[in-house]
Amino acid sequence: MKIIKAKVLGYCMGVRRAVEIAGREAAGAGTSGVFTIGPLIHNPQVLESLRKKGVDVLNEDRVPDDLGGHTLIIRAHGISPDLETSLRNCGARLVDATCPKVHASQMKARSLSAEGCRIFLAGEQHHGEVIGIQGYAPDCIVVADPGEAGKAAEALRAEAPDTRCALLGQTTISRDEFEEIGNTLKEYFPGIKIIDTICGATRDRQEALRELCSAVDAVIIIGGKASSNTRRLLAIAEKLGKPAWLAETKDDLPPDIGKYGTVGLSAGASTPGYIIDEIEEALKKL
């Protein structure tokens, strides 16, 4: 079997930064508690590694009233300003590990909303990043696909046809999804501002996968099953007609993967290098 790795795979800048911040906070915590608000990133192996270092996950819906003396780390996906205020009121020391790209999207949403612009946000309704951005533009409309976008735009046009609109995207949405949603919204609001907030690392990773798919018989996408950008990589490979599987660890490799002559490896933005290496070594032994 020949194994080819995508030119871009694994940790992005925002994830690497968040993991490093959490590691530093754990190392200097002493007897104080260190917590993240929701999962720091969407990779269970990394979260378990951080837990062993003393970094635990707090459910944002069940935060204790008194966290004086403890450190709370804001996850890479960011949180809403209201949640941030309530956390400060709990007495905790807040450390912001929000990805700079996500923070830029939050600020763009806030400024557009302040200008009276109605925002469509292309992304997953229950994803942490989307929830956080909604906090900066409470009346924004989240749409997951062109069908949802069309229904939402039709309803808004019927209610307020002269509304100034803008489209932002979850930083990990695929380029194709974002463009399709944008084209749908233009049918209802031709003057809509299309603001590409897709992270450059996301675009590069997706383009590297497309290039990889042209040279392999099958693809393994390595990463957490809860990771939005990892699932989108899987969808891209499948859309290109390649047999593709998502694997969190080497134990998730499909039993018949050995029948393919050339296998490609790609990985989500929250996948650590050592897991990529472990899966590559497991494939070499087949």
> 271-281 as b/e, with b when 16 or more CB fall inside 10 Å?
bbeebbebbbe
DSSP string, 40-56: SSS-HHHHHHHHHTTEE
For the question of residue 129 being annotated catalytic, the response is yes
For the annotated binding site for [4Fe-4S] cluster, the residues are 12, 99, 199
DSSP string, 105-157: HHHHHHHHHHTTPEEEEES-TT-HHHHHHHHHSTT-EEESSHHHHHHHHHHHH
The token pair that represents 79 in the structure block: 């949180």
Q: Which helix (H) or strand (E) holds 34?
A: strand 34-37
Q: Looking at this protein, which amino acid is placed at residue 262?
A: T
For the annotated binding site for isopentenyl diphosphate, the residues are 42, 77, 127, 227-229, 270
For the annotated binding site for dimethylallyl diphosphate, the residues are 42, 77, 127, 227-229, 270
Q: Looking at this protein, which amino acid is placed at residue 70?
A: H
Tell how far CA 125 is from the center of its chain. 12
Euclidean distance between CA atoms 215 and 262, whole angstroms: 8
Is residue 212 classed as helix, strand or coil in its secondary structure?
helix
Residues whose CB is less than 8 angstroms from the CB of residue 79 and which lie 6 or more positions away in sequence, other chains included: 37, 38, 60, 87, 98, 128, 131, 132, 135
Euclidean distance between CA atoms 230 and 223, whole angstroms: 6
Catalytic residue chosen out of the listed positions 84, 129, 177, 248? 129
For the annotated binding site, the residues are 12, 42, 77, 99, 127, 171, 199, 227-229, 270
Catalytic machinery residues: 129
